[in-house]
Amino acid sequence: MIPSTRRRFLQQLTVSSLGLWLPQLPAKTIPSNSGLPRSTPAAQGVSSEALQAFLARIAEAEIELHSFMMVRHGHVIAEGWWAPYGPAYVHSMYSMSKSFTSTAVGLAVAEGKLKVSDRVISFFPESLPEQVSENLAALTIQDLLTMSVGNEKEPTQPVVKSEDWVRTFLAQPITHQPGTEFMYNSAATYMCSAIVQKVTGQKILDYLTPRLFEPLGITGMRWETCPKGINTGGWGLSIPTEAMAKFGQLYLQKGLWNGRQLLPAAWVEEATAFHIQQPGDASSGRPDWLQGYGYQFWRCQHGHFRGDGAFGQFTIVLPEHDAVIVMTSENKNMQGQLDLVWQHLLPAFQAASAQDDSALAEHLQGLKLTPLQGQSNSPKIESIGGKTFALEVNDLGLTSIQFNFHGSRLAFVAKAQDTAHEITCGIGQWQLGQTQMPGTPPRLISGGKPTLPVNSPVAASATWTDDSTLVMTWQYYETPHHDTVTCRFDGDQVKVSFLNSIAAMAPNPKDPRTELVGKMVG
């Protein structure tokens, strides 16, 4: 339950009470429109051997990281991307998006546009159900921020399946008194986005751009929207790895950036403080999800805090060590990922300055995801190369496919009426490209309209696992996910099955796409 003293404190936060946000500490030397300054572990008192040990354990545990960055004393001291991922690309954040939505609320509070004590129904009189329950009437923005709406069932799925997400959210039963029980609720974060848009007249992406993204030198960000044109809030933001590091550094500095108070220090303190306890106990094996919750920020073990998203999108802020740790990944064992941080990276801050960082630098430069390896050739190539396979009716709307081999590359071409979708694969290696192939890329949550570009960047590889089986891997390197596409040839027939990496994590993996069945016609 939210302490009454904090509730009163935030109710009083207005532009006048926040004053001019005058900095009380000298700003770090971080240019406002460029990357963070670079340094070395040794220069900032961090053990490169401990960082090496962390990376080794990540590999041993088969945790698929896509990027890693550590910032100490305002300097990036270690950074790496597992190719085909790279520093120039955005990465979808999933629920790490929530912390940015919380920031938009904080800025709107600072500008006097709303208070966290405001009733949610006051913003949407046109969308209310016929009967407004006592609990719905009592629901505040603060309850949305702390995931304590009071729903008996998490409402996100019915919300995103509708055309009017606000109306559908407000129609969901609220069984418990708001503010009393924690239940993870992505639709509640969407409502925060909708409220900020209602009072500012801007999507939160547009609202944050001059107030947050531009001062931090963050570009290229994208955010999905609902059918009504409201940013999804609880998910759907895509940004580069260094943007996450800058965001974490801003919170570490209590909203101060290059001598300018972008976000009130009072809001940073309040947003990252303990507000409500999650249900559960230590026997769950997820202690970092039981340390308390703030305003779309999680409290961590050891007194730290973080924003996080599904599959291991982490921005971890360690005030005690003046450090920020960022990771993007596809990993179902997020607690195991955090455990390795605590085991290896916390002790790293005890390092002496005299050390050789060159081995770590070399390691970080050579990181890569290795595509599936097998045979580079097959006798089948002669009979299937360049031939057209007419497909039986399928849920992807595809009518035919071709396999065109050109030396060390395979062009897989799938046609749907008058549109040809081509993905070029490197044989045993990655080939970068783009695709609009139906059913791609995999997504954890339905609903929401992806923003431009429509084409999904993809790194593709292919290999033969036996003479009759061709396996393609399509890695969507601006998301955590990939597809494994298995093509089995038998005479003049082919069967193509899909397994996306989200479905592959389930106890009984099953991709939602049906198998393609084709027969050679020429």
pLDDT at 468: 98
Which residue, of 331, 365, 399, is where some domain finishes? 365
Rounded Cα–Cα distance for residues 143 and 345 (Å): 34
Which residue, of 365, 395, 424, is where some domain finishes? 365
Pair 437, 315 in one domain: no
Pair 323, 384 in one domain: no
pLDDT at 4: 42
- Is there a domain that residue 333 lies in? yes
- Is there a domain that residue 374 lies in? no
Pair 386, 503 in one domain: yes
The token pair that represents 254 in the structure block: 């209590």
Pair 438, 291 in one domain: no
Q: Please spell the DSSP secondary structure of 41-91, one letter per residue.
A: TGGGT--HHHHHHHHHHHHHTT-EEEEEEEEETTEEEEEEE-BT--TTSEE
- Is there a domain that residue 31 lies in? no
Identity of residue 391 = L
pLDDT, block means (10 residues), the chain with 522 residues: 44 38 35 77 94 97 98 98 98 98 98 98 98 98 98 96 97 98 98 98 98 97 96 97 98 97 98 96 84 98 97 98 98 97 94 82 97 95 96 97 96 94 97 95 79 80 98 98 98 97 96 96 82
Length of the chain measured in residues: 522
Pair 128, 182 in one domain: yes
pLDDT at 240: 98
Pair 162, 307 in one domain: yes
Residue 320 CB neighbours (<10 A): 10
pLDDT at 282: 67
pLDDT at 17: 35
Spatial neighbors of 414 by CB under 8 A, at least 6 apart, are 396, 398, 400, 401, 420, 421, 422, 437
Q: Please spell the DSSP secondary structure of 163-224, one letter per residue.
A: S-HHHHHHHS-B-SPTTS-----HHHHHHHHHHHHHHHSS-HHHHHIIIIITTTT--S-EE-
Rounded Cα–Cα distance for residues 142 and 179 (Å): 8
Pair 182, 297 in one domain: yes
pLDDT at 26: 33
Pair 263, 309 in one domain: yes
Q: Tokens 């670079």 identify what position?
A: 38
Pair 431, 315 in one domain: no
Q: Which CATH number characterizes residue 462's domain?
A: 2.40.128.20
The token pair that represents 405 in the structure block: 């081999």
Pair 358, 396 in one domain: no
CA 258 from centroid of its chain's CA atoms: 27
Which residue, of 365, 400, 430, is where some domain finishes? 365
Q: Which CATH number characterizes residue 166's domain?
A: 3.40.710.10
The domain of 266 spans: 4-21+39-365
- Is there a domain that residue 45 lies in? yes
- Is there a domain that residue 335 lies in? yes
Rounded Cα–Cα distance for residues 126 and 373 (Å): 57
pLDDT at 354: 75
What is the total count of domains within the chain? 2
- Is there a domain that residue 29 lies in? no
- Is there a domain that residue 290 lies in? yes
- Is there a domain that residue 302 lies in? yes
Pair 105, 245 in one domain: yes
Q: What is the pLDDT of residues 224-256, one digit of tens each?
A: 999 999 999 999 999 999 999 999 999 999 999
- Please, what's the largest Cα pairwise distance for the chain? 77
Pair 285, 326 in one domain: yes
pLDDT at 261: 98
